[in-house]
Structure 1
Amino acid sequence: MRRQSQDIGRPQKDGRKRLGRAGEDEAASFLKRKGYVLAARNYRAKVGEIDIIAWQDARTLVFVEVKTRTGLSYGKPAEAVNYAKQRKIIRTAQWYLLQKHIDGCRCRFDVIEVYAMTAGAWKVRQIEGAFEM
């Protein structure tokens, strides 16, 4: 009986993972269309993970947290990027900069909200400078 209850929850979790991955794909495409050059996706370090790292121009590196939703029942997606999550992203960004020996560039922390609309359409909203170091 216990095993059945675990299996019941799994499809919903898998659906959220697929939605999140699709939202990240849409956010990456959105940034590319705006002329950003992607440096990394799903960058992982021992201190955390960053969804997208991209160069806006030759001197500005942008660390992006992507939040995807199908509706507003849990609030706006960016509201999920609380203070603790921001600190984790900042620590991970510092790790990335050290690992890649990047120095002297401007860094910015953005949040991209992705809304899954009907009929496979997406609505994307970029919040530039959503938080700071």
Structure 2
Amino acid sequence: MSTATARRGQAPGPTTKARGQAAEALALRYLQSCGLRLVGRNIRSPGRGGGEIDLIMAEPDGTLVFVEVRQRSRATHGGAAASVGWGKQRRIVWAARHYLARLAPMPPCRFDVVVIDGELRGDPPPRIQWLRAAFDASAWD
């Protein structure tokens, strides 16, 4: 228990990892309800400086969708969408290229972000926003 939590007399909340897993589960259910199919989850690229892809989904037309899930309880500092900066994008593209190297032929692809603003179990419920083609891999060529 942290000192600040102990001073307030409150039990510690869920860990960052647990909140991330809950956000990914919520995003997965949302995307599946929109017709996408799960292909992979938490796919990591090897090596130092590699990245992780939260969800790999497939559109009904075969487009492979690499999804970054971002959740923020508060909208300070721009909210969840603002937290997908150039460094994060670069690591996701790196991981996607590593994943795609195993596929032949290469399917059409895109990079999406699912933004969850608000408490995951709060009232009101969190706001989910699906940002299709949120960034492009060509910026990292």
Normalising by the smaller structure, the TM-score range is 0.7 to 0.9
Q: Distance in 1 between matches of 2:83 and 2:114?
A: 12
Which secondary structure state, in structure 2, belongs to the residue aligned with residue 62 of structure 1?
A: strand
Q: Distance in 2 between matches of 1:102 and 1:91?
A: 18
Aligned residue identity for 1:27 = A
Which secondary structure state, in structure 1, belongs to the residue aligned with residue 76 of structure 2?
A: coil
Q: Does 1:58 align with 2:77?
A: no
What value does the CA root-mean-square deviation take over the aligned residues? 2.1
Q: Does 1:84 align with 2:87?
A: yes
The aligned counterpart of 1:18 is 18
Structure 1 unmatched ranges of 5 or more: 1-6
The aligned counterpart of 1:30 is 30
Aligned residue identity for 2:131 = I
Matches within 5 A, 1:34-45: 34-45=34-45
- Deviations for 1:32-81, whole angstroms, at most 9, x for unmatched residues? 00010010111112121100000012321000000001110232212111
The answer on whether the counterparts of 1:97 and 1:103 sit within 8 Å (CA) in structure 2 is no
The worse-fitting range, judged by mean Cα deviation, of 115-124 and 36-45 is 115-124
Write 1 or 2 for the structure with the bigger share of strand: 1
1:107 to 106, 109, 113: 109
The aligned counterpart of 1:69 is 72
Structure 2 unmatched ranges of 5 or more: 4-11
Write 1 or 2 for the structure with the bigger share of helix: 1
Give the ranges of 4+ consecutive aligned residues of structure 1 lying more than 4 Å apart after TM superposition. Answer: none
Which secondary structure state, in structure 2, belongs to the residue aligned with residue 85 of structure 1?
A: helix
Identity %: 34
The answer on whether the counterparts of 1:61 and 1:107 sit within 8 Å (CA) in structure 2 is yes
2:2 to 8, 11, 33: 8
The aligned counterpart of 1:3 is none
In the TM superposition, residue 120 of structure 1 has moved relative to its aligned partner by 7.3
TM-score (norm 2): 0.79
The aligned counterpart of 1:122 is 126
Count of equivalent residues? 125
- Deviations for 1:64-99, whole angstroms, at most 9, x for unmatched residues? 000001110232212111111111100100111113
Which secondary structure state, in structure 2, belongs to the residue aligned with residue 121 of structure 1?
A: coil
Which secondary structure state, in structure 1, belongs to the residue aligned with residue 106 of structure 2?
A: coil
In the TM superposition, residue 19 of structure 1 has moved relative to its aligned partner by 1.7
